[in-house]
Structure 1
């Protein structure tokens, strides 16, 4: 359906932040890409959606006669929370693709703007490794109306087919996390 083709654009760096409360997830940040002429372009995005995770039980630490308390993840009003942050200095890499929805020979900066569908997965204890797939340049009206209708419908399929670009990234972040999780989010990139 998406038919990825490699683009001459290249991933430079990113800075991201995310927050989750129970199954609700939100993230945002900046992605820096280099166009085929190596000129930097900075894009900002924000997304929200749902996520699922599993926690790792952290052991109690005992040193000689010193007993440290058991470490546990914080809660807000009894709800599990998590979050992560990565500045541009954190290690990250990525690839940029054109999708079947893009009919030209090469992407331009405007092709990255518009609706975003983000699939994310990460795992770790305080230092987290993760990967993200972003579909970019989606028709925002079709994306929202497709998600509000029944799953597997024609409108959502058409919205996904309208994606012009894709970015796959891998990187590390500092996180309020002890476990593994994944999320599905929608939003916009400017």
Structure 2
């Protein structure tokens, strides 16, 4: 069990896209955090991992609209995405592994990531994730080769980010995924939508 304390850094926005095929998912995107002085810091993430999904129309018994399908050897390819203009929410927490009072160096969150994500939608949808940030990339790679080290990697994470938002795409799905990937700091964020 991790002990979490809320950071003074605030979640600003996120954007990204993902695709699923069979029991495999991959995604990438950005999230932006505001420091205590109001500077906006941008992080890029990319990840892949196993997933489980079910057709949403089967659960809800709603009529199907004829969505374009991409079928490759019996499995259907689906995908969704969101820009920073889509509504998104999040909170940053620090763990007992983070020894300082709060973030000073934005690069402290760089490294590997392990996260759980749930998503659902029929054309329009939503997703939420619990993302462990700043894990040693070496430890995470060793965990891929030796899965019992994944627990050690998760326990070493200095920060946790929760995110939720809306998306759209060729989707008729409710699912969950366990993702492994990396976080890279990309500097200050400039919002070009204004």
TM-score, scaled to structure 1: 0.88
Aligned residue among 109, 112, 115 for 2:109: 112
Q: In the alignment, is the contact (CA less than 8 A) between 2:18 and 2:80 conserved in 1?
A: yes
Specify the structure having the higher radius of gyration (Cα). 1
Looking at structure 1, the residues matched to 31 and 127 of structure 2 have their Cα atoms a distance apart, in angstroms, of 15
Q: Say whether 1:79 aligns with 2:75.
A: yes
Matches within 5 A, 1:42-57: 42-57=42-57
Matches within 5 A, 1:1-190: 1-57=1-57, 59=63, 70-71=66-67, 73-107=69-103, 108-150=105-147, 153=148, 155-190=149-184
Q: Secondary structure of the residue that 1:89 maps to in structure 2?
A: coil
Looking at structure 1, the residues matched to 182 and 164 of structure 2 have their Cα atoms a distance apart, in angstroms, of 20
Q: Give the length in aligned residue pairs.
A: 179
| Residues 84 and 92 of structure 1: CA distance in aligned 2, closer, same or farther (over 3 Å) | same
Q: In the alignment, is the contact (CA less than 8 A) between 1:122 and 1:131 conserved in 2?
A: yes
Looking at structure 1, the residues matched to 116 and 22 of structure 2 have their Cα atoms a distance apart, in angstroms, of 17
Looking at structure 1, the residues matched to 158 and 56 of structure 2 have their Cα atoms a distance apart, in angstroms, of 38
CA apart distance, 1:72:
6.5
TM-score, scaled to structure 2: 0.86
Q: Secondary structure of the residue that 2:144 maps to in structure 1?
A: helix
Q: Secondary structure of the residue that 1:110 maps to in structure 2?
A: helix
**Residue in 1 aligned with 2:187?**
none
Cα deviation, 1:62-82, whole Å, max 9, x if unaligned, reads xxxxxxxx5464323332111
Structure 1 unaligned blocks of 5 or more: 62-69
Structure 2 unaligned blocks of 5 or more: 185-194
Aligned-residue Cα RMSD (Å) equals 1.6
Looking at structure 1, the residues matched to 156 and 181 of structure 2 have their Cα atoms a distance apart, in angstroms, of 15
Q: Secondary structure of the residue that 1:121 maps to in structure 2?
A: strand
